[in-house]
Amino acid sequence: MPMTAYPRRVRIVEVGPRDGLQNEPEIVPIETKLTLIEQLADAGLPAIEVGAFVRPDRVPQMADTEEVIGRLRPRNDVTYIALVPNRRGLERAVASGIRTIAVFTAASEAFAQANIGMGIDASLTAFREVAAAARADGLGVRGYISTAWWCPYAGRTDPKMVRRVAHELLALGCDDVDVADTVGAATPAEVSGTLEMLLQDVPTGRLAVHFHDTRGTALANVLASMALGITTIDASAGGLGGCPFAPGALGNGAVRGADVVTTGNLATEDLLFMLHGMGIETGVDLEAVSAASGRLASALGRPLPSRYLRAGPLRLRGGTPRSS
């Protein structure tokens, strides 16, 4: 049987400082954010999502995005990214000096309505103007597609809809398209199926994947994606974000409590551990990312869900093996 061919090198887009911290119940101090971002950049992450130019009254956690960007040490080797929902957001992004923005829509009409307050087509129309203006200013543009496999309102997403939205995002000026398993319900065969359809239109190098580890399948989904040549993968330091604390989410009579940690975003550490174990280069220092996440966990006062962060590297036991 032939060996599956995986990429030799993968580019990780770190989303922890935005997608991860956005849902924290307490406002995270800007110093904590800046330390996290600088440590992640020092660890070698080539792209980091650092904020969102959304309405501060709706997303207070992102209200300091201008100041975060203004205080980051300039680096030629790191792409900083901020979310931009509309023209007003773009004006703020341009003024902040950031060089890459991300626009976001969904492949499920119901989710688009619920999450961004407009339909998919309306969002694409709005982004056309935003993307054109961004490109005129020389900015890079990422396009996010939420609910690319499953929607919490509509169930299974039609891959043809993902294909149509991806096509439109590229047509309106996005450099690449990032497809997300927003609710963490996709499995590898579904991932392969949708990606194979997308790859009929989208060059491999312009397609990124964003998996949630809610039900444990994120790394298996990464494997299925890499088998199709995908080389850009989102991840979040420590597994930050998604739905870190979900009291009552256990169901089935299991123990409930505030100490119950469920996971959303794929943890950067878990991804790095798998990739490096497979001999796939990332240019990122796993232990440096773990140190950044560990420091953040201390600042937040709770453990983060990354499995690697909890287990650590395999440390060999020294001395004479214990005989039992």
Residue 54 backbone dihedrals phi, psi, to 5 degrees = -105, 180
d(C-alpha 185, C-alpha 211), whole Å? 9
d(C-alpha 88, C-alpha 107), whole Å? 24
Report in angstroms how near the CB of residue 152 gets to a second copy at its nearest. 5
Nearer to a second copy among residue 57 and residue 77 (C-beta): 57
Of 68, 170, 186, 240, the one binding a second copy by CB under 8 A: 186
d(C-alpha 36, C-alpha 311), whole Å? 21
Classify residue 317 as exposed, middle or buried by CB count within 10 Å of its CB (0-12, 13-18, 19+). exposed
Position 298 contacts a second copy (CB under 8 A): yes
* Identified catalytic residue from 243, 274, 288, 291: 243
Position 215 contacts a second copy (CB under 8 A): yes
Measured over the CA atoms of residue 316, residue 322, residue 323 and residue 324, the dihedral's sign is negative
Cβ-Cβ contacts under 8 Å for 91 (sequence gap 6 or more):
none
Measured over the CA atoms of residue 90, residue 68, residue 265 and residue 277, the dihedral's sign is positive
In order, the DSSP letters of 203-227 are -GGGEEEEEB-TTS-HHHHHHHHHH
Nearer to a second copy among residue 98 and residue 218 (C-beta): 218
Of 32, 188, 197, 285, the one binding a second copy by CB under 8 A: 188
Of 29, 97, 203, 216, the one binding a second copy by CB under 8 A: 216
Of 115, 194, 232, 236, the one binding a second copy by CB under 8 A: 115
Nearer to a second copy among residue 134 and residue 185 (C-beta): 185
Position 6 contacts a second copy (CB under 8 A): yes
Of 58, 76, 77, 138, the one binding a second copy by CB under 8 A: 58
Cα distances from 47 to residues 32, 82, 87, 108, 283, in angstroms, run 19, 11, 23, 27, 12
Position 73 contacts a second copy (CB under 8 A): no
- Total number of residues that touch a second copy (CB under 8 A): 90
d(C-alpha 206, C-alpha 142), whole Å? 9
| Letter string b/e over residues 284-294, b meaning 16 or more CB atoms within 10 A of that residue's CB | bbbeebbebbb
Say whether 174 is catalytic: no
Position 223 contacts a second copy (CB under 8 A): yes
Within 120-179, the residues that bind a second copy by CB under 8 A are 150, 152-155
With contacts defined by CB under 8 A, name the span among 20-28, 34-42, 140-148, 226-234 that binds a second copy: 226-234
Position 309 contacts a second copy (CB under 8 A): yes
Position 26 contacts a second copy (CB under 8 A): no
Position 104 contacts a second copy (CB under 8 A): no
Measured over the CA atoms of residue 313, residue 316, residue 317 and residue 321, the dihedral's sign is positive
Q: x-or-dash pattern for a second copy, window 242-281, by CB under 8 A?
A: ----x--xxxxxxxxx-xxxxx---x--x--xx-xxxx--
Q: Which residues are catalytic?
A: 243
